[in-house]
Structure 1
Amino acid sequence: MPDRIDPARLRALDRAHVWHPYGPMPGRQEPLVVESASGVRLRLAEPAHGRTELVDGMSSWWSAVHGYNHPVLNEAARDQLDRMSHVMFGGLTHEPAVRLATRLVEITPEPLQHVFLADSGSVSVEVAVKMCLQYWRSAGRPAKRRLLTWRGGYHGDTWQPMSVCDPEGGMHELWSGSLPRQVFADAPPDGFDAEPDEAYARHLRELVASHADELAAVIVEPVVQGAGGMRFHSPAYLRVLREACDEHDVLLVFDEIATGFGRTGQLFAAGHAGVSPDVMCVGKALTGGYLTLAATLCTSRVAEGISSGDVPVLAHGPTFMGNPLASAVACASVDLLLGQDWELEVKRIGAGLRRGLAEAAGVPGVRDVRVLGAIGVVQLDHEVDMAAATRAAVREGVWLRPFRDLVYTMPPYVTGDDDVARICRAVCAAAKEG
């Protein structure tokens, strides 16, 4: 193995050469150097604000639901490495990919029968959009090529996903003049448990009806809008969209990349509404945070429609599609999740978040405190000072990544009660300083 790089030298090389997410080049902030991780703890290469390890309150951007260095997932990876790490998926197949696709069909809403394995969540949304566009082209209705979504959403950083992110004030406003022009409804009213607003439901129905001739699909994040603002909305609006799409012959896509695999208290957020989409995207927690992998699932109607068209194939095929190593770990991660009482664990974490974040409601500058499933959010009435908020959390021994006006947490499901309480103290401290 190569010699270890001194942490100071590592930071210097990082600053000179490594472009971090949503950051400038060279970087202006000093990232913490993580040496290893186990359970819910990140071990630092050198102390930061007196801490040599941090409880991860982010599940590595919501993916590491089983924590780090999990023996079951490690074993699955080692076993697959001894067989093959990769083989092309064009003209070949293998057990890990077939097992994973079959498992996903078993656990997602029943109409979803076909699985396209993608490289990342953003790519899975690209594939979903391509499925919808190609479906209508195959049906002889190529004019149906626009998408409808609601404001406040986030679907990824590649081209089509950017076009259905919030067009004003979102991360991709920079590209508003270049992206495809989509149809935007108002953001759904706040409140998972709030009574549905009939005026808003009518707004959704009217938009679908008036644009039906040009709409390929409606795409939304069900129940929780993630990186667009961590907003929760009533599941009733998903039922409204399902009914409107059925009435006006429009496909419905659910982006469950952030909400899938139990995060909201249902295995998939669509379960809160009791409805099924025509196309569903999953990712993030799919491999337990070990490897990048996502999937786009669709109904037989969509698959058969594409396959009976003048171009009878889905025109997409990533080099690492169906990667055996990632697929094997994903199978192990899904089985690990379903082999335990994940619902009880998510409820336990949610109860701890409610208790621990209650004090934040009285902090000056805090606008709202909300919890759903294993998601805890403190929303400020101003832009968070990310550097100050992060330092405050680190002093409490917790890693958080605040953004915009939010200090939030999505802990791994294996986080113990004491560590949940620690995360809550860190969120409150970050809110006070941020």
Structure 2
Amino acid sequence: MDIAFDRRHIWHPYTSTITPLTCYPVTHAEGVHLHLEDGSKLIDGMSSWWSTIHGYNHPVLNEAAHSQIDKVSHVMFGGITHQPAIDLCKKLVDMTADNLQHVFLADSGSVAVEVSLKMALQYWHAKGENRSQFLTLRDGYHGDTFAAMSVTDPDNSMHSLYKGFLPEHIFATSPNTGYFDQWDEKDITPFAQQLQKHHQKIAAVILEPIVQGAGGMRIYHPQYLKRVRELCDQYGVLLILDEIATGFGRTGKLFAYEHANIQPDILCLGKALTGGYMTLSATLTTKHVADTVCAGEAGCFMHGPTFMGNPLACAVASASMSLLERNDWQTQVLSIEQQFADLLPKLALHPRVKDVRWLGAIGVVETHHRVDMEKIQAHFVEQGVWIRPFGKLIYMMPPFISQPEEINALIEAVRSSLDKLSCFLNN
């Protein structure tokens, strides 16, 4: 590969063009392994940013893609429909909460969030109410597009430099009670106070259920989510759940809201929807919300991406959902969770570690100091694993098909990185 050209001209995510981070050339992937150009292979601990839950080069997903591309790879969704979209939406309606009856397909997770926010705004406009703000949580993350950034923590996130350019919404202190801790009712107080004070101008509450992802990898108590649902009902506010990172089994439940036994008014899905093969998202909502939106001035929902309902993506997503329907994921995720539970507490004893936490196929090691991305990435590659930390968080979200020895290798690589002073910055 022409790595020199890549370094000079290709702008990778969260990477400077002045001092670009090293990029490792992948030639192919199989199962949980990424194969590099030099012949080495890495155990993937990231599921390609949490999406490749079934592993790489999966025969079922490959066949779905091969079969569909010979028929039609893309066709506009306006005024046209096709079987892959119908098959996928049937599966999504069947597997999600009973109240979610309408599916809006779009391009990516961030767009799903944009769609959900627009849906809530148009809902209240149709009802003749001017509600233009959203209530959300500190330490949350909802994507990199503008509306999604506006409901992401404005001070403690990668989007802080856009503060002042984005619409300003209402933020409540994020929950402190951990998933396995004893519930403290005082934890909901900041949220309840904000909702009580501002509910008449709030279109919806939006949050990540149970696990806050890129905003801090925080894992909180299901009772918090249950109380949020109760308060939204009490004050007549819509509840949007962003399950782009947590959906499709990652937390040990098919959807994270199941931990609290609640139902959202609007649900955002993405990432693992296609098993990591290509970009696609879905925003689901209730018949009441959808019909109210369409009864308004516009007579329809005012959104329509060019690649909405892409047949190729829908075909692969439907095949991915069929793999989940076999229920092997439950045993796989439970096995990964048990290894995290057995081994991560040992890392908590290391002087560089502030905290460890886990749930389902998510394992997190929080350190006292920020990582040196260039050096810790090189260390992980030397150890034969692919883990990409950020800030003070070294986390693992491996494919569900990962075997015990592969999870052990990921955790051992993290342990060895803690012993290397060069992998961490001093501040």
Structure 2-normalised TM-score?
A: 0.97
Contact 2:54 2:275 in 1 (8 A): yes
Q: Distance in 2 between matches of 1:134 and 1:432?
A: 53
Task: Note if 1:78 corresponds to 2:66.
Answer: yes
Task: Note if 1:116 corresponds to 2:104.
Answer: yes
Q: Distance in 2 between matches of 1:166 and 1:426?
A: 31
Contact 2:107 2:279 in 1 (8 A): yes
Q: Residue 38 of structure 1: which of 30, 35, 49 is its match?
A: 30
* Aligned-partner SS, 1:387: helix
Q: Residue 129 of structure 1: which of 117, 129, 135 is its match?
A: 117
Letter in 2 for 1:387: E
Q: Percent identity?
A: 51
Contact 1:136 1:216 in 2 (8 A): yes
- 1:268-315 deviations in whole A, cap 9, x for unaligned? 000000001100001100000001001000011110110100111111
Residue aligning to 2:184: 197
Superposed counterparts of 1:239-254, under 5 Å: 239-254=226-241
Residue aligning to 2:167: 180
* Aligned-partner SS, 2:36: strand
Residue aligning to 2:142: 155
- 1:348-405 deviations in whole A, cap 9, x for unaligned? 0111222333331121210011110010100001212222221222121100001010
Task: Note if 1:213 corresponds to 2:207.
Answer: no
Q: Residue 406 of structure 1: which of 383, 386, 393 is its match?
A: 393
Q: Cα offset for 1:224?
A: 0.1
Residue aligning to 1:97: 85
Q: Cα offset for 1:340?
A: 3.4
Q: Distance in 2 between matches of 1:318 and 1:148?
A: 26
Q: Distance in 2 between matches of 1:22 and 1:190?
A: 31
Q: Distance in 1 between matches of 2:296 and 2:280?
A: 28
Moved beyond 4 Å, runs of 4+? none
Task: Note if 1:346 corresponds to 2:333.
Answer: yes
Q: Residue 330 of structure 1: which of 293, 311, 317 is its match?
A: 317
Q: Cα offset for 1:195?
A: 2.2
Q: Cα offset for 1:46?
A: 1.7
Residues 83, 26 of structure 1: alpha-carbon distance in 2 compared, 3 angstrom cutoff? farther
Q: Distance in 2 between matches of 1:116 and 1:103?
A: 14
Q: Distance in 1 between matches of 2:377 and 2:323?
A: 32
Q: Distance in 2 between matches of 1:30 and 1:382?
A: 21
Letter in 1 for 2:402: T
Task: Note if 1:361 corresponds to 2:353.
Answer: no
Q: Distance in 2 between matches of 1:26 and 1:338?
A: 47
Letter in 2 for 1:259: T
Question: How big is the alpha-carbon RMSD for the aligned residues of Structure 1 and Structure 2?
Answer: 1.1
* Aligned-partner SS, 1:85: coil
Q: Distance in 1 between matches of 2:411 and 2:27?
A: 25
Residue aligning to 1:68: 56
Letter in 1 for 2:103: V
Letter in 1 for 2:55: G
Task: Note if 1:281 corresponds to 2:262.
Answer: no
Q: Cα offset for 1:194?
A: 1.7
Residues 190, 404 of structure 1: alpha-carbon distance in 2 compared, 3 angstrom cutoff? farther
Q: Cα offset for 1:140?
A: 0.1
Structure 2 residue runs without a partner (length 5+): none
Q: Distance in 2 between matches of 1:432 and 1:304?
A: 58
Residue aligning to 2:4: 12
Paired residues in the alignment total 421
Contact 1:357 1:427 in 2 (8 A): no
Residue aligning to 1:171: 158
Task: Note if 1:258 corresponds to 2:250.
Answer: no
Contact 1:88 1:320 in 2 (8 A): yes
Contact 1:252 1:279 in 2 (8 A): yes
Q: Distance in 1 between matches of 2:25 and 2:279?
A: 21
Q: Cα offset for 1:29?
A: 1.6
Q: Residue 14 of structure 2: which of 13, 16, 22 is its match?
A: 22
Contact 1:77 1:329 in 2 (8 A): yes
* Aligned-partner SS, 1:216: strand
Contact 1:17 1:26 in 2 (8 A): no
Q: Cα offset for 1:187?
A: 1.3
Q: Distance in 2 between matches of 1:430 and 1:85?
A: 44
Structure 1 residue runs without a partner (length 5+): 1-6
